[in-house]
Amino acid sequence: MKQLWNKMDAGIDKQQAINTELVKQLVKDRNNRSLSSISWMEYLGIAVAVVVMMVFISLLPRLGDSPLLIVSYIISMLIMVLTLITGIYKLRHISPDDYSKRTVVEMSERIEKLRLFIAKEKIAALVSGPVMIAAFTAVVYKFVHDVNIFTNITAYLPRIIAGTIAYVILAALLYKQVYFRNINEIKSNLDELSQLKKGIV
């Protein structure tokens, strides 16, 4: 009878171990999906930044010598450079392989560090929106239409304002739906893993 109970206990322990591994794998898969969503957005941002920089550099001779256009061009290029730098930084923090090699505590600290960085980035992006839109509008109009909008800025203000409003709305939605939603899901998954390791789940 004792041997039967021992076998039953062993069978239960084995099943619990299997269930634990299944849960761990499910959590890992959910984390990878969330990380992949953020990675995809970063690669897209980097690709767009590189293309814009190449186009702007190739069209530089058309810029002219207007100080305001030159400043707008410099601001536009700096934004693209910052997009590259922040994109690469975030990609370094969201590698699925890197997360799989870390403990739950290390992963939690890493994702919290990423969340804080993105929160600061969001504030900077929203605050600098009007300047960025104005600079891009000036440069694009000069390159495409050979028009210096600063000679009659009031005629272009409605477009700049409309572009700024659209940018702020889209940026806020992007950060909420792509970044913070996925980060919150990852944090929830890590909490589940932490509970599992403590034997609560």
How far CA 119 is from CA of 125, 177, 200, in Å, comes to 10, 13, 32
Q: Give the structural domain span for 44.
A: 35-198
Task: Specify if 52 maps to a domain.
Answer: yes
What is the reported pLDDT for 133? 95
- Residue 64 backbone phi and psi in degrees, to 5: 85, -170
Q: Look at residue 53 and tell me whether its pLDDT is greater than 90.
A: yes
Task: Specify if 5 maps to a domain.
Answer: no
pTM above 0.85, yes or no: no
Rounded to whole angstroms, the Cα distance separating 79 from 122 reads 14
Question: Using CB atoms within 10 A of its CB, is residue 190 exposed (0-12), middle (13-18) or buried (19+)?
Answer: buried
pLDDT grade for 76, boundaries at 50, 70 and 90: very high
Rounded to whole angstroms, the Cα distance separating 98 from 83 reads 23
Task: Specify if 22 maps to a domain.
Answer: no
Q: Look at residue 104 and tell me whether its pLDDT is greater than 90.
A: no
Q: Across residues 62-66, what is the average pLDDT? A: 91
- Cα angle value 69/65/124 (rounded, 5°): 25
Rounded to whole angstroms, the Cα distance separating 25 from 150 reads 58
Place of tokens 């530089």: 60
Rounded to whole angstroms, the Cα distance separating 77 from 83 reads 10
Task: Specify if 20 maps to a domain.
Answer: no
Domains identified in the chain, total number? 1
Task: Specify if 176 maps to a domain.
Answer: yes
Q: Look at residue 196 and tell me whether its pLDDT is greater than 70.
A: no
Q: Look at residue 108 and tell me whether its pLDDT is greater than 60.
A: yes
Task: Specify if 50 maps to a domain.
Answer: yes
